[in-house]
Amino acid sequence: MKINGLLMDDQDNVVTCVAEIRKGDQVVYLKDGKEETLEAKEDIPFCHKIALVDLPQDGEVVKYGELLGKTRETIEKGHWVSDRNIFSVPRDYELEFVKE
């Protein structure tokens, strides 16, 4: 099957769709060099993200192995993850300084 999703890091819980996805389509992506598939439960626009697992409300959304933000509501597996249902978390800079 043709790859239409990209998993950026093994830790990620979202996949970026690199084609227009219709509800019911299979999203195909590579993990550890092996093809994996996931059924889209709603339409996902080109370049947008789909949830790989059920994400609880206030749960962390991870891409590139890093935190993108948290969920405003529960996002079920196969659903569209976007600016409508996730938000950016303020940084705690004090914890990031190192000793000089």
- Residues 68/75, Cβ–Cβ less than 8 Å: no
Among 22, 46, 56, 76, binds other proteins (CB under 8 A): 46
AA identity, residue 37: T
Q: Which of 64, 90, 55 is nearest to 6 (CA)?
A: 64
Does 52 sit near other proteins (CB under 8 A)? Answer: no
Identity of the residue, 35 or 54, whose beta carbon is nearer to other proteins in the bound complex: 35
Span from 31-39, 40-48, 51-59 in contact with other proteins (CB under 8 A):
40-48
AA identity, residue 20: E
Q: In the chain, which ranges are E strands?
A: 5-6, 14-17, 26-31, 34-39, 49-51, 60-63, 66-71, 80-81, 86-87
Span from 1-9, 32-40, 51-59 in contact with other proteins (CB under 8 A):
1-9
Span from 32-40, 51-59, 66-74 in contact with other proteins (CB under 8 A):
66-74
The residues of the shown chain that bind other proteins, judged by CB under 8 A, are 3, 6, 8, 16, 18, 45-49, 61, 63-64, 66-69, 81-83, 86-91, 93, 96-100
